Amino acid sequence: MRRVLLALSLLGALAHAVAAAEPIRLSVDLREAPQHVFHARETIPVTPGPLALRYAKWLPGEHAPNGPVVDLAGLRIRAGKQLLAWERDPVDTWLLRVVVPAGVSRLEISLDYLAPSGGEGFSGAPPASARVAVLAWNTVLLYPDGARAPELAIEPALELPAGWEAATALRIAEKRGHRIQYAPVSLETLVDSPVATGAHYRAIPLAAPSGAPEHVLHLLADGEAALAAKPETLAAYARLVPEAYALFGAHHYGRYDFLLTLSDHVAHFGLEHHESSDNRLPERSFLEEPLVLAGSSLLPHEFVHSWNAKYRRPSGLATRDFSTPMVGDLLWVYEGLTSYLGDVLTARSGLVTPEQARDTLALQAAGLAHTKGREWRPLVDTARDAQHAYAARWEGSSWRRGVDFYDEGVMLWLEVDALIRTKTRGAKTLDDFCKAFFGPPDGGPEVRPYTRAELVAALNAVAANDWEAFFRKRVDELRPGAPLEGIEAAGWKLVYSEEPNALVDAYSSQPDAGTDLRFSLGAFLSAESRIADVVPGSPLDDAGVGVGAELVAVNARAFSPEVLADALAAAKKDGAKIELLVKNADFFTTHTVAYRGGERHAHLARDEAKPDLLSQILAPRTWTPKPEEQKKNTEQGGAQ
Ligand SMILES: [Zn+2]
């Protein structure tokens, strides 16, 4: 569908473009980032006549028309001293039209990006606190519409607040005080290269196999203390790079920078790029154990994306101009396989124990088992609808479905992994597919789009099977109930018990975490004790409690997660009643819940009738865990 450019020929073409045509000069001033205003000035070479200027609309990795044009403010377009009138396109509102006067060869543009201080989302969500700021260049940039992103040259510069440092995959051309001039890059590389900045900074080089390029973990935090990661945490992150190389067998970047912003005041997410990833976690995520665990799979996930997303990309998502709508049909590969491989690498690196890895799988499986929307909506429809699904309210998510291509992708690719192992009698694994599809030869950033047919052919080359029929059943058709085939094929079963799930505990330690009762009463409570979702057909649904209401009291005592847990335990033990006082808008109602099952947490239990493929999948490839880890694994029934 699109021309495949080798990295070297791309660099050559770009160097030529820079030499032949004057680049856009973009200078961003972050000195007022703590006040949530990013200032930008641009010089754009132009020719006289009508000109359409674009603000990036469809953002790679966000799978949606998310470009935050609503926060573009203070726009001034000048030709010399003359202020030009501009007009927004009435339909494509990310497009601004001006007429360049005769004799004018450059426009000077000044604009502000009003960085939000609250709310959720991705690059349009809170990017700054008083001590850190992450710059996504697309938020401060207008460029001639119709330009192909790999071919338009831009020369970026950045002014930082006094005492701040910056980390990015961009190469520095010159640094003077707090002003950094970066080497010219294509528009595509610029948008692919965010800058994480902050007052507290630590760079940690990560060892890589010999011959591999440099990998650096950059921590930027609201406080100096947050940078003091424990040696064992850093040791596990250091194992991530060799484990990824053992999986893929090659790299597709010139250098890799993990940008990690640690702040309770920025939006928390990860966004993938070819040569870096923009990771944002709560401030103490490298310090305190429950938070370390809660954030453990983020960097592995975004790192895997350098291969599965940036290098190999579904053709419907490989648009490369920020204006062509994206087609998300293959997000169960782009995100689903990345989730699976990210979780596998998290375990192989020792960022989680095998038991914690199984609790992660169990939580994902149980979440899908309690997603009633599976009865009306196939997985592929959630992928096609991704442009809305990310922004959907939590309310109604069990019946609506959400971005299920992540967790169901994990189940799906675990089954593929198990099937390859079984069909080839252990001779081949999904690792072999990863090397064939994402691996050699080594090189710099490159995009190689693929179709579903090409994916199926590549799987067939590893293990002969009717993979198209397999995906039709798993992805395209309705599948009510839990998708447990992968877990079962790997030698385990989904079970529920009162034992806490390690990941649920870790997630509940995060700021603003809610209470997950989906597998018992059938609800998710927000941190403000509002009913954020009710599973249709669950005990709470049967009792007439709906979303949006506030849980005020349990058995006449003011609600807290502990009071509710005690009531669940008493009801299980001796059949005591569970009576809830609920405030729905201005009205209070009492609901008796017919539930005696106690707390229910998801876990995996070993199925001794089958070989334990899961433990083989999760086992490290490049190091040997300490004996106590192996012992723990054996006790859980997961011996090699
Ligand atoms: Zn992802």
CA of 205 to the centre of ligand 1 (A): 24
User: Which one, of 134, 162, 153, 194, lies nearest residue 26 by Cα?
Assistant: 153
- Each residue's pLDDT tens digit, 397-418: 999 999 999 999 999 999 999 9
pLDDT value at 17 more than 80: no
Mean of pLDDT over the chain: 93
In this prediction, residues 332-339 reach a mean pLDDT of: 98
For residue 420, count CB atoms less than 10 angstroms from its CB and return exposed for 0-12, middle for 13-18, buried for 19 or more.
buried
pLDDT value at 14 more than 70: no
CA of 577 to the centre of ligand 1 (A): 43
CA of 318 to the centre of ligand 1 (A): 15
Q: What is the pLDDT of residue 3?
A: 32
Neighbours of 611 (CB within 10 A): 16
CA of 241 to the centre of ligand 1 (A): 18
Task: Check residue 260 and give left, alpha or beta (phi > 0: left; psi -120 to 50: alpha).
Answer: beta
CA of 593 to the centre of ligand 1 (A): 38
CA of 287 to the centre of ligand 1 (A): 24
pTM above 0.85, yes or no: yes
The angle formed by the CA atoms of residues 521, 526 and 531, to the nearest 5 degrees, is: 50
User: Which one, of 258, 29, 269, 223, lies nearest residue 125 by Cα?
Assistant: 269
For residues 445 and 171, the answer to whether their CB atoms sit within 8 Å is: no
Q: What is the pLDDT of residue 341?
A: 98
pLDDT value at 290 more than 50: yes
Neighbours of 100 (CB within 10 A): 19
CA of 406 to the centre of ligand 1 (A): 8
CA of 333 to the centre of ligand 1 (A): 10
- Each residue's pLDDT tens digit, 79-137: 999 999 999 999 999 999 999 999 999 999 999 999 999 988 898 899 999 999 999 99
CA of 305 to the centre of ligand 1 (A): 7
For residues 408 and 273, the answer to whether their CB atoms sit within 8 Å is: no
User: Which one, of 165, 126, 166, 68, lies nearest residue 263 by Cα?
Assistant: 126
| Owner of token pair 């490369």 | 320
For 372-515, where are the alpha helices, taking DSSP H only?
379-384, 386-389, 397-400, 407-423, 430-438, 452-462, 467-471, 485-489, 502-508
Amino acid identity of 157? A
In this prediction, residues 542-571 reach a mean pLDDT of: 96
Instruction: Look at residue 110 and give its three-state secondary structure.
Output: strand
For residues 398 and 388, the answer to whether their CB atoms sit within 8 Å is: no
CA of 272 to the centre of ligand 1 (A): 7
For residues 165 and 197, the answer to whether their CB atoms sit within 8 Å is: yes
pLDDT band at 199 (very low <50, low <70, confident <90, very high): very high
- Each residue's pLDDT tens digit, 427-481: 999 999 999 999 999 999 999 999 999 999 999 999 999 999 999 999 999 999 9
Q: What is the pLDDT of residue 630?
A: 53
CA of 128 to the centre of ligand 1 (A): 22
pLDDT band at 629 (very low <50, low <70, confident <90, very high): low
In this prediction, residues 198-223 reach a mean pLDDT of: 95
Pair of tokens at residue 436:
């064939």
Q: What is the pLDDT of residue 510?
A: 81
pLDDT band at 628 (very low <50, low <70, confident <90, very high): low
CA distances from 125 to 6, 110, 265, 507 (A): 34, 22, 11, 21
In the chain, what percentage of residues exceed pLDDT 70? 95
CA of 565 to the centre of ligand 1 (A): 34
Instruction: Look at residue 435 and give its three-state secondary structure.
Output: helix
Specify the range with the lowest mean pLDDT, choosing from 117-121, 265-269, 384-388, 586-590.
Answer: 117-121
Amino acid identity of 139? T
More confident position, 197 or 638: 197
